[in-house]
Structure 1
Amino acid sequence: MFSVQSLVRPNILQMEAYSSARDEYQGPPAIFLDANESPFGTYNRYPDARQTVLKSIWAEQNNIHPDQVFVGNGSDEIIDLCYRVFCRPGIDVAYQFSPTYGMYAVLAQLNDVHLQDMPLDRSFRICSAALPAFPAGTAKLLFVCSPNNPTGNDPGDIIPVIESFPGIVVVDEAYIDFSNQNTSVRLLQQYPNLLVMRTLSKARGLAAARIGIAMADETIISLLNKVKPPYNISRLNQEAAIAALKNTAASDAFTAIVIAERERVRKALSILTCILEVYPSDANFLLCRVKDPAGLYDYLVNRGIIVRNRDRQVPGCLRISIGTPLENEQLIQALNNYQIP
């Protein structure tokens, strides 16, 4: 029978989480003389360490319990904490389907965890029949980015991956708002080894606020809460996140514009001679295979248009985010004027 505790680093199981006096106090508003804060100012008090209001709103909108929600300082903090909780440095192994989001590898190296690549097929999809025999005892984390970055597509059915992996499967849904695919949140009750990540940096327009969300079984969430810094989300960022979650009409409208612009830009780029292929996208960007990635990238930079050169990850490719209609038009005009060397 699956047990989350059997996957956790022994020192994490044994550690006692930091507890402030405010964590221990459950009564009504009082005179707080416990945390050596300034008694003056608007933002003089430490923020809610539990992010109670934010979690409550998110849980209600996603039909889960607040105890199944963790709020991180961006998704990167959640990824880092997963390595810290589950992976013994120099011993345990994590897995990813490549090409994918680069921070899985960066944070694996930071935590001295070997990250094993499992290449996607030529259509950037998971080949379930080619999954390796994962070693029980050391296979601790597996990352699936869906829709995938930098390829933009739905990598395929993840249920066989969840069922075959003996550790924690982290499904990164940073771009799910731009896709018609079903969220993996619906699978949480069925699979206790599943953790689903979201972010407010994309469709919600809060990249500056650094708000990442993890949804998982209460046991996994309690472990993330145990090891996180006590005040990892500022009050200002919590307030911004709460306002964004309450204003779904605005984010829905902006998302609809991005999806429509994604199709317009795709059509415009597909007929250009400098673009060899525009890959299908369920995200807010397009991956394009081009004739001269370095030359085209430099050409755009010189005109003040910054895209992402992904030639090292996906040979011959640039990744182009979808901007405002005006920004997209300026991109299209610049590409129309590009002269292939």
Structure 2
Amino acid sequence: MFNLQNILRENIKNLVPYSSARDEFKGEASVFLDANENSFGSPLATSYNRYPDPMQFKVKTRLSEIKGVPPRNIFLGNGSDEAIDILFRAFCRPGVDNVVIVPPTYGMYEVSAGINDIQIRKVKLTADYQLDLEGIAEAIDNNTKLIFICSPNNPTGNSINRADIETVLTNFSGLVVIDEAYINYSRQKTFIQELTEYANLVVLHTLSKAWGLAGLRLGMAFASEEIIEVFNKVKPPYNINEASQELALEALQNVEQVNAWIKQTVSEREKLAAELEKLEIIKKVYPSDANFILVKTTDAKGIYNYLVEKGIIVRDRSKVELCEDSLRITIGTPAENESLIVNLKNFLSQR
């Protein structure tokens, strides 16, 4: 049975969070003499002399309308990486607790675990990149606090079987973190809809992919109000700057444009996959629910180096478990995808 207090670190339970001036003030005012800001303004045309909203209420309200989740169930972080780091710091005791990851998967889970001195237990995905449920069950002990599942998965691109994820959620007494950074490109529905069903569920989203805001570094965590309160307790007081909040709010008004880009990306993904399958140097094109394709090649290093010479950068994933001789290719514009195919054909003709 899941109980948040059972997995929360004692020092976090007892932590009195930093109280900023903007946390203490509620309502409207015209004269702010509470936060030791420069009352005369800033050198910029847009004045940024005031501290930003520490809880990003306007952005969360707009996200609430788009995602169908109350603002109290939303955390905004400096990229999804901040949410991942907070999970380790809040729930895992350094040198004592452990977490489970299912490689090949997003690399920051392991990096963040290392930074926080948390043991990683790896349970490799199956040959078709799905969960090894028996292996996960065997890896878990009383000190296992988190299980990370990336779906659609990075770098493989496929969605993880929904029933298998639900099995993990039902049987694990810690937090199950489902990273849905690429969910906008997927045929699968988001697990956000299941927040009321599973008290131990945390869903990660980002504005870096479909929304095209990678430069702003805005990630989201969706969870129960109790879990979000922990995030807000641990985060820095002003973790999202005012400029990022303003730009995000502006971007979030353009849902139709983003949906059009998603449709075009998915269309280009199918076209690119079909073209890649025609090439002798491509041994396998893995099915993808993301904005990238993983391909197994005859010579990943040689192809990668050749493309670099031509000014085309893909990702060599050959050293990743279960991704030997594989390249990860992001879906580009039609012109960029055409350039890629032309150069791959040229590489083939020069062999």
The reply to whether TM is greater than 0.5 is yes
The 5-angstrom pairing of residues 143-292 of structure 1 reads: 143-157=148-162, 158-292=165-299
CA distance 1:114–1:88, shift in 2 (3 Å): same
The separation in 1 between residues aligned to 2:27 and 2:111, in whole angstroms, is 42
The 5-angstrom pairing of residues 102-181 of structure 1 reads: 102-133=107-138, 135-157=140-162, 158-181=165-188
The separation in 1 between residues aligned to 2:119 and 2:34, in whole angstroms, is 42
Residues 174 and 198, structure 1, Cα contact 8 Å, conserved in 2: yes
1:172-199: per-residue Cα shift (whole Å, max 9, x none)?
Answer: 0000000110111111101100000000
Q: Compute the TM-score of the two structures, normalised by the length of structure 2.
A: 0.95
Partner secondary structure for residue 123 of structure 2: strand
Q: Compute the TM-score of the two structures, normalised by the length of structure 1.
A: 0.97
Residues 55 and 69, structure 1, Cα contact 8 Å, conserved in 2: yes
What's the CA shift for 1:274? 1.0
The separation in 1 between residues aligned to 2:223 and 2:285, in whole angstroms, is 35
The separation in 1 between residues aligned to 2:171 and 2:98, in whole angstroms, is 15
RMSD: 1.2
Give yes or no for the alignment of 1:101 onto 2:115. Answer: no
Give yes or no for the alignment of 1:77 onto 2:86. Answer: no
What's the CA shift for 1:76? 0.5
Residues 123 and 135, structure 2, Cα contact 8 Å, conserved in 1: no
Residues 144 and 172, structure 1, Cα contact 8 Å, conserved in 2: yes
The separation in 2 between residues aligned to 1:141 and 1:30, in whole angstroms, is 45
One-letter code aligned to 1:337: N
Give yes or no for the alignment of 1:33 onto 2:33. Answer: yes
The separation in 2 between residues aligned to 1:102 and 1:27, in whole angstroms, is 42
Equivalent residue for 2:338? 329
Report runs of 4+ in structure 1 exceeding 3 Å deviation.
133-137
The separation in 2 between residues aligned to 1:136 and 1:43, in whole angstroms, is 49
The separation in 2 between residues aligned to 1:198 and 1:135, in whole angstroms, is 26
Residues 7 and 137, structure 1, Cα contact 8 Å, conserved in 2: no
Equivalent residue for 2:324? 315
Structure 1 unaligned segments of length 5 or more: list them.
none
Residues 196 and 216, structure 1, Cα contact 8 Å, conserved in 2: yes
1:16-68: per-residue Cα shift (whole Å, max 9, x none)?
Answer: 10111221111312311222222213111111110001111111222221110
Structure 2 unaligned segments of length 5 or more: list them.
none
1:207-249: per-residue Cα shift (whole Å, max 9, x none)?
Answer: 0001101000001000000010111111111112112221101
Equivalent residue for 1:5? 5
